[in-house]
Amino acid sequence: MFTGIITDIGELVARREGCFTIRCGYPVASIVIGASISCDGACLTATQVARGGPGSQFTVDVSNETLARTTLGQWQPGRRINLERALKAGDELGGHIVAGHVDGVGRVADVRADGSSVRLMVEVPADLARYLAPKGSIALDGISLTLNEVAKSSFGVNIVPHTLTHTTLGAKRPGDLVNLEADVLARYVARAMELRT
């Protein structure tokens, strides 16, 4: 379980069949084998931990299912990755409840300045559109965001300066792919409505 509040930006340093190694700023002692870490919104399990520069490196297993249903299949060494460690009992829930289960991949359609912020328009797969509502929540590459406007196959979000500089969103351009996770509450409401009909 996560909150969608990014606590570090890591870097993919190695990719081998079935596993990735990511460099991060977390202290080595703070990552235990078996720990869940959100990597651009995908919940992955640390299988190895080592020192790596000023911080550490951790290795995660990556299944074919994850590679096929997220942006991870396209990752290459050097990619910057939004990281969040799992929520602990008593931690502040500053974003929204994020499971780390990517529902699909969206495509950035437009990026434009809006004062000191940036507005992103993202195209979504048709099966995810029913979970989106204005002022609802979405996790975009693991980041908890508020939906501003919602259309049939797209949504808009406003990215404030802090988020632009403390996540990878400041580097997004039209055509870039992003991991999407719908709000779990919206998912259950939609399922309940399906069962009523």
How do the domains of the chain map onto residue ranges?
A: 8-85, 104-196
Of 188, 175, 190, 189, nearest to 71 (Cα)?
Answer: 175
CATH code matching the domain that covers 104-196, chosen among 3.40.50.720, 3.40.50.11540, 2.40.30.20, 3.30.70.360 = 2.40.30.20
Q: How far apart are CA 115 and CA 16, in angstroms?
A: 42
pTM of the predicted model over 0.75: yes
Q: Does the fold of domain 104-196 match that of domain 8-85?
A: yes
CATH code matching the domain that covers 8-85, chosen among 1.10.8.50, 2.40.30.20, 3.40.50.1820, 2.30.40.10 = 2.40.30.20
Phi, psi of 64 (to 5 degrees): -60, -35
96-147: pLDDT as tens digits: 888 899 999 999 999 999 999 999 999 999 889 888 999 999 999 999 999 9
